[in-house]
Copies of this chain bind each other. A is one copy, B any other.
Amino acid sequence: MPDTGFMQALDRVNFLVSQKLDTLLAVPDGPESWLFEAMRYSALSGGKGFRPLLCSASAAIFDVDEHRAARVAAAIECVHCYSLIHDDLPSMDDDDMRRNKPSLHIAYDEATAILAGDALQALAYEILADEATHASPDVRLELVSQLAKATGMHGMVGGQMIDMLSPNLELDAGGLTRLQKMKTGALIGFAVEAGAILGNATSEQRQALLGYSHDVGLAFQIADDVLDVRGSSDEVGKTIGKDAQQNKTTFASLLGVGRAHDQASLLIEQAVAHLEVFDARADVLRQAAAFVIHRDS
């Protein structure tokens, strides 16, 4: 059972992010309202909010105003949603269910899903560049720059490309780790790093958070692979058993479910150890690490 402080922080950031996205995605009068409805369907669909939580919990260490942190968290949620929408498309992972609802290309159509993803990506940068996000232009620019690097060809999108190719790649543990660092780890890393950027962290503090996010990112993916084997569709909210069906190498298939779970636990211990330079203000991040392997969806 996750700690109360963690659950409260998660609810709070999800509330603030939804509030901000609700305003930003106000539906206009023209025929493009269809696009906005589609974006809202995905971005306001009650995701777990794990990445937004990491951003706000990291920012909280440095006493960053929660509304600024929530704007960055909203940008991260936009990018995360765009990547899920595009990953679910028939020519990609071909998933019909997401967060216990029909995927966007099922609820709307493929063209709308492609465009909603594209527009959510642009919206993320619009949010970060706005001065409501931070008074310092340098801080906003660093957010823009790091998000672009984390989610572009050398990061998330590059990782998704390798994942698409993976049934023909015969990846070993090293190759799979690299794939997951790009595909999942880079955006998780940005979420944690963003708090440090907003809070003008020292380079020692940033190093600690970087180490934490690497370990948490990898543990998160291993736990995901285990859930794909062990979970039920209802709990996980999307189709399960897809990895084996698509002949994808996963940590579960490489290590077996038991050893994969042990590996994730070890990474979580390591992640928490990185945080010892911080005081109790890092407790939500500590609890977030534990949540990664105790979640059931």
Contact = CB atoms under 8 A, between A and B. Distances in A.
Contacts of A4: none
Interface string A234-260: 000000000000000000000000000
Contacts of A30: 158, 162, 178
A32 interface: yes
Given A32-B161, A129-B141, A164-B115, A153 B89 contact: no
Interface string A170-210: 00000000100010000000000000000000000000000
A152 B109 CA distance: 19
A36 to B, nearest CB: 6
A118 B158 contact: no
Contacts of A138: 137
A147 B129 CA distance: 11
Contact of A129 (B86, B144, B151): B144
The interface size bin for chain A is 35 or more
Contacts of A25: 153
Contact of A123 (B117, B153, B159): B153
Task: Count identical subunits in the complex.
Answer: 2
A119 B164 CA distance: 15
B111 A158 contact: no
A114 interface: yes
Nearest to A151: B122
A89 B86 CA distance: 13
Lowest 7 A-B CB distances belong to which pairs?
A122-B152, A91-B110, A126-B148, A137-B137, A129-B145, A32-B158, A119-B153
